[in-house]
Amino acid sequence: MINTDRSTLYRLDMLNQQQIKNNYQMSTLKKIDKGSDDTKVYTQELYLNDKLNVYEGLKSQIEKTNAQNDVSDSTLAEIKNLLDFIKSETVKGRNDTNDSVSREAIATQIEGAKNNLFTLVNERVEDEYIFAGSQTNVQAFVKDENGKITYNGNPNLRQSAVEVDSYRDRGVTGFDIMSYDVTKSVSGQELTFKEGERIIDENGREWKLNAAGSVLVEYDEDGKLTKNFIEVTTTGESPDKVHTITELPTNEDGSEKTFTVKHNSFQAIDDVITALRNNDGDGISVALEDLNSAFGAANNAHGVLGGRNDTFETAYERVTSKLTHFNVLTTENSMANATEVAMESKQLELIYKTLYSTISKTNSLSLVNFL
């Protein structure tokens, strides 16, 4: 018998490999099973998968940020409502027709609103204090044994990704919502501030009095003490101390430096309560002016927050659009054409029949038939 030609076996083996590939494509609708099947398709697949992973991560981060921003927005709206209520009650208390009993009742209502404010400014989302600045693991505002409330966070904001290697500030700090600017001074000028007021420079760094009250010391963005300090002179006795810096310094490069004095809005509320309980009409009027400033600061912070929230909402739409785009490209790159696969399968079937028929006829030949 004539031996089957080696080239026929080779062709049969190639057909088997093509059939395996065709069966895989028909069952999975994918072009390739492994990288060696088509290096061009495989390389593109790796690139697109990397892009998908990156933008899925970005989308997840932005979704979390938007959730926090929504809570910040609604909470700040409630804070403004309470501040507006306190202002309205203070206006009632300023009326000369009120006696000490009426003003005491108003003071009690304002004190209740203050306690509600304390709860709101310490709002948390996923165990993060949303108004604590970049130190989201520490309570934003704290209350001492005398009921005095102070900001415990820092003046810096956390940043969240909006694109690859692109970040934006998120939210607002407790300084933004519950303190207002009293005065600003620049290098070479004098700066005066009262006890309890906070000092922030143009770089967002806070300057705090040391224990002795003799110098103002700079703290960095992480809340760590630096070597920079400014000498301070103090007059008066607590709680009416006044601190003065004769001449503000410049930056290390000689450029002008700006210092902002911020007054605690909770202190303004305490001043209103004290004036009402002391039946002090003039004190109520002064405190009302401070409350107007406090409400203005919260309102401004709400506007800034809205602008930052819009940035992340726009970023979310852009990232979602890119994810859709890369998903389409992935489908086009990796998915097999069902019609082409079906046609190729039919062609393989015909080729198999022809080849096996040839092999069968070849194997049936004998020497006698040949002769």
Please state at what angle helix 6-28 crosses helix 338-363, rounded to 10 degrees.
150
In one letter, which amino acid is 94? R
Q: Tell me: the pLDDT tens digits for 240-261?
A: 889 999 999 998 888 999 999 9
4/104: higher pLDDT: 104
For the beta carbon of residue 255, count every other beta carbon within 10 angstroms.
Answer: 9
The backbone torsions φ and ψ at residue 123, rounded to the nearest 5 degrees and listed phi first, read -60, 140
Q: Are 206 and 259 in contact (CB under 8 A)?
A: no
Q: Tell me: the pLDDT tens digits for 316-363?
A: 999 999 999 988 887 776 665 556 656 666 666 666 666 666 666 666
The predicted model gives 260-285 an average pLDDT of 94
Question: For residue 78, is pLDDT > 60?
Answer: yes
Q: What is the DSSP string of 224-284?
A: -EEEEEEE-EEES-TTS-EEEESSPPPPTTS---EEEEEEEHHHHHHHHHHHHHTT-HHHH
Q: Return d(Cα 99, Cα 112) in angstroms, integer.
A: 20
User: For residue 239, is the peptide bond before it cis, meaning its omega torsion is within 30 degrees of 0?
Assistant: yes
Buried b (16+ CB within 10 A) or exposed e, 104-142: eebbebbbebbeebbebbbbebeeebbbbbbbbeeebbe
Q: How far, rounded to the nearest angstrom, does the alpha carbon of residue 286 sit from its chain's CA centroid?
A: 38
Q: Are 205 and 134 in contact (CB under 8 A)?
A: no
pLDDT band at 41 (very low <50, low <70, confident <90, very high): confident
- The residue assigned the tokens 């004998």 is 366
pLDDT band at 2 (very low <50, low <70, confident <90, very high): very low
Q: Return d(Cα 2, Cα 363) in angstroms, integer.
A: 7
Three-state DSSP state, 125: strand
pLDDT band at 198 (very low <50, low <70, confident <90, very high): very high
The predicted model gives 103-132 an average pLDDT of 94
Q: Are 216 and 201 in contact (CB under 8 A)?
A: no
358/39: higher pLDDT: 39
Three-state DSSP state, 38: coil
pLDDT of residue 100: 87
351/185: higher pLDDT: 185
pLDDT band at 1 (very low <50, low <70, confident <90, very high): very low
Q: Tell me: the pLDDT tens digits for 130-183?
A: 999 988 899 999 999 989 999 998 888 888 998 888 999 999 999 999 999 999
Specify the pairing of strand 159-163 against strand 242-245: unpaired
Q: Return d(Cα 23, Cα 44) in angstroms, integer.
A: 23
Q: Are 95 and 104 in contact (CB under 8 A)?
A: no
The predicted model gives 27-45 an average pLDDT of 68
- The residue assigned the tokens 């309560």 is 273
In one letter, which amino acid is 188? G
The predicted model gives 281-298 an average pLDDT of 94
The predicted model gives 101-106 an average pLDDT of 93
Q: Closest Cα partner for 149 from 189, 118, 103?
A: 118
